[in-house]
């Protein structure tokens, strides 16, 4: 298979190349995964491995940041805060939650099933395939993979061909003493991803674009492979007239521009109440112009480079079309020649007929629109095919909650931005074209487990009241039982009396 070259987005220097695995190598990977799953160590050992990994990441923190920066072009602060901190926080949370969550559960048994016990067992699915994008190559790969591993699955991790961080995770997993082949990195591009999908893993956890998500779901349908899809976004930020202007403008700035706007939950649509719109935009522009670029200023700086050259074309074409239709660019708007740096860009006079307000931009671009009242703000926010995250800003918390409840999104932060993701105890997942299914949350391993429903009865010579033979006498008693249980005149006493008679009738009538 042809090789793929990985390039440093800050310097343009080629770093190394990848060879896509051929059919034989893939067959071996699957065989190893099956073997690793069959020999999966006990939960206590899996938890210990995750905790060792957590400590190892803290020890090698700066070296990991170096690798992430070299392949993504993001600023060191972005790499540290979202990739390292987020991964460590998740390691700690997942390791703490796993024993509670995987323990067998006692479940309520209704009176009609008196004498029996109900249980819920949490079992691994088998082999889980995690496919990750290039914007958070460490976090997006590691957190779902560790969730799947803790649940007892073997995991295949397919990083993006743009930012594979080749060898980094393998070395960390080896040094942390993970069982051999329990988590296998499979490097390659779309073709490798497709081959892995078509092989029929027991679950696909996919993070990436809507277009790829659609293809993966289609391919997965052939083997009825379950999929969790974490796709794109076009997140709105709603700002009411009673906010603290300074804090809210700073929030918009970070929410729109962190990781150079290459985040699925970046603020891409900013709606500001008309009474503060002019002041808000002025302050936003002034602050945006103070931001420093890693490429031209060096570290420390706020804005890194774009990772993918093709993403610059998307930004440029959306901006050109918007300007053609009457939008005004207040700052930024054009890339540095010969570089993957795109300056922070502020756009006004936009409408929802522009691709800039409808399609994912995935770059350091904030487009702002005024609104007149609450109803209009909600309508504008919901006028999108996406439904990932949103934020609502107001000093009136009742209003903020009222608005937040009406937004058709999977995640919403109030008076903050992109913050639901910072709490691993909150689930993360989208609605509409942003995908379905979730990870993390109060039951973080649930998406990676098979829940086995178990009902336990004792051995005896008795039959159940609804087993054969069916007789008129038993039909009548059963009918009375239904009435005593569920009708408006239901009665516990009547139900018990009828239940006992039905039970004795069944034992008399059995074949």
Residues of this chain that interact with ligand NAD (CB under 6 A) are: 131-136, 140, 158, 160-161, 189-190, 193-194, 197, 207-209, 212, 215-216, 230-233, 264, 360, 362, 388, 430, 435
Considering beta carbons, is residue 240 or 428 the nearer one to ligand NAD? 428
Could you give the CA distance from residue 206 to residue 228 in angstroms, rounded to a whole number?
Answer: 6
CB of 311 to ligand NAD, least distance (A): 8
CB of 215 to ligand NAD, least distance (A): 4
Catalytic pick among 20, 71, 83, 264: 264
CB of 164 to ligand NAD, least distance (A): 9
264 in catalytic set: yes
Rg of the chain over all Cα atoms, to the nearest angstrom: 27
CB of 189 to ligand NAD, least distance (A): 5
Grouping H, G, I as helix, E, B as strand and the rest as coil, residue 407 is: coil
CB of 87 to ligand NAD, least distance (A): 14
Could you give the CA distance from residue 231 to residue 210 in angstroms, rounded to a whole number?
Answer: 5
Catalytic pick among 71, 83, 161, 230: 230
CB of 232 to ligand NAD, least distance (A): 3
Considering beta carbons, is residue 192 or 285 the nearer one to ligand NAD? 192
HSE of 497 in the Cβ direction (CA atoms, 13 Å)? Answer: 8
What is the CA 111 to chain-centroid distance, rounded? 40
Residue 172 host element (H or E): helix 168-175
Could you give the CA distance from residue 209 to residue 227 in angstroms, rounded to a whole number?
Answer: 14
Report yes or no: 74 and 260 within 8 Å, Cβ to Cβ: yes
Report yes or no: 128 and 199 within 8 Å, Cβ to Cβ: no
Could you give the CA distance from residue 185 to residue 112 in angstroms, rounded to a whole number?
Answer: 51
C-alpha distance across the termini of the chain, in Å = 67
Nearest alpha-carbon partner for 229 in 70, 422, 336, 388: 388
Considering beta carbons, is residue 179 or 189 the nearer one to ligand NAD? 189
Bridge partners of 436, per DSSP, are: 229
CB of 275 to ligand NAD, least distance (A): 33
Considering beta carbons, is residue 255 or 370 the nearer one to ligand NAD? 255
Q: What sections of 60-138 are H helices per DSSP? A: 61-72, 76-78, 86-102
Bridge partners of 17, per DSSP, are: 5
Report yes or no: 196 and 20 within 8 Å, Cβ to Cβ: no
Could you give the CA distance from residue 365 to residue 330 in angstroms, rounded to a whole number?
Answer: 11
Considering beta carbons, is residue 229 or 272 the nearer one to ligand NAD? 229
Report yes or no: 71 and 10 within 8 Å, Cβ to Cβ: no
Structure tokens at 242: 């009673």
Considering beta carbons, is residue 165 or 506 the nearer one to ligand NAD? 165
Could you give the CA distance from residue 102 to residue 42 in angstroms, rounded to a whole number?
Answer: 11
Considering beta carbons, is residue 186 or 465 the nearer one to ligand NAD? 186
Residues with active-site annotation = 230, 264
């Amino acid at each position: 298979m042809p090789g793929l070259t990985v390039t440093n987005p800050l310097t343009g220097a080629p770093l190394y190349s990848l060879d896509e695995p051929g059919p034989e190598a893939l067959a071996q990977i699957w065989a190893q995964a099956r073997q690793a799953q069959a020999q999966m160590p006990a939960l206590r050992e899996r938890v210990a491995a995750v905790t060792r990994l957590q400590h190892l990441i803290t020890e090698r923190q700066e070296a990991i940041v170096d690798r992430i920066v070299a392949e993504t072009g993001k600023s060191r602060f972005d790499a540290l805060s979202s990739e390292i901190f987020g991964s460590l926080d998740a390691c700690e949370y997942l390791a703490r939650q796993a024993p509670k969550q995987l323990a067998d559960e006692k479940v309520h048994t209704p009176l009609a099933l008196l004498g029996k016990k109900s249980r819920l067992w949490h079992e691994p699915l088998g082999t889980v395939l995690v496919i990750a994008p290039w914007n958070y190559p460490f976090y997006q790969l590691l957190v779902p993979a560790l969730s799947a591993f803790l649940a007892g699955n073997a995991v295949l991790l397919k990083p993006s061909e743009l930012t594979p961080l080749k060898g980094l995770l393998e070395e960390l997993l080896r040094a942390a003493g993970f069982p051999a082949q329990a988590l296998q990195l499979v490097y390659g591009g779309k073709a490798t991803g497709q081959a892995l999908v078509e092989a029929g893993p027991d679950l696909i956890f996919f993070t990436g674009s809507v277009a790829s998500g659609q293809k993966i779901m289609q391919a997965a349908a052939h083997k009825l492979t379950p999929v969790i899809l974490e796709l794109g976004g076009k997140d709105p930020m709603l700002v009411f007239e009673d906010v603290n202007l300074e804090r809210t403008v700073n929030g918009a700035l970070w929410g729109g521009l962190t990781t150079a706007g290459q985040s699925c939950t970046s603020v891409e649509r900013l709606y500001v109440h008309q009474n503060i719109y002019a002041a808000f935009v002025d302050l936003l522009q002034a602050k945006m112009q103070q931001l420093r670029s890693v490429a031209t200023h060096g570290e420390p700086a706020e804005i890194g480079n774009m990772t993918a050259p093709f993403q610059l074309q998307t930004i440029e074409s959306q901006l050109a079309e918007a300007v053609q239709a009457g939008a005004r660019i207040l700052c930024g708007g054009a890339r540095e020649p010969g570089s993957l740096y795109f300056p922070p860009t502020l756009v006004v006079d936009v409408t929802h007929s522009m691709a800039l307000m409808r399609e994912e931009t995935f770059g350091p671009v904030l487009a702002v629109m005024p609104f007149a009242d609450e109803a209009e703000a909600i309508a504008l926010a919901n006028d999108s095919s996406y439904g990932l995250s949103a934020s609502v800003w107001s000093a009136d918390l009742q209003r903020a909650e009222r608005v937040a409840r009406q937004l058709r999104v999977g995640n919403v932060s109030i008076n903050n931005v992109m913050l639901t993701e910072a709490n691993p105890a909150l689930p993360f997942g989208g609605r509409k074209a942003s995908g379905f299914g979730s990870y993390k949350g109060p039951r973080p391993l649930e998406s990676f487990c098979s829940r086995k429903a178990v009902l336990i009865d004792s051995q005896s010579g008795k039959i159940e009241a609804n087993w054969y033979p069916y007789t008129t006498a038993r039909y009548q008693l059963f009918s009375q039982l239904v009435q005593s249980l569920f009708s408006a005149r239901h009665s516990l006493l009547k139900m018990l009396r009828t239940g006992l008679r039905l039970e004795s009738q069944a034992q008399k009538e059995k074949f």
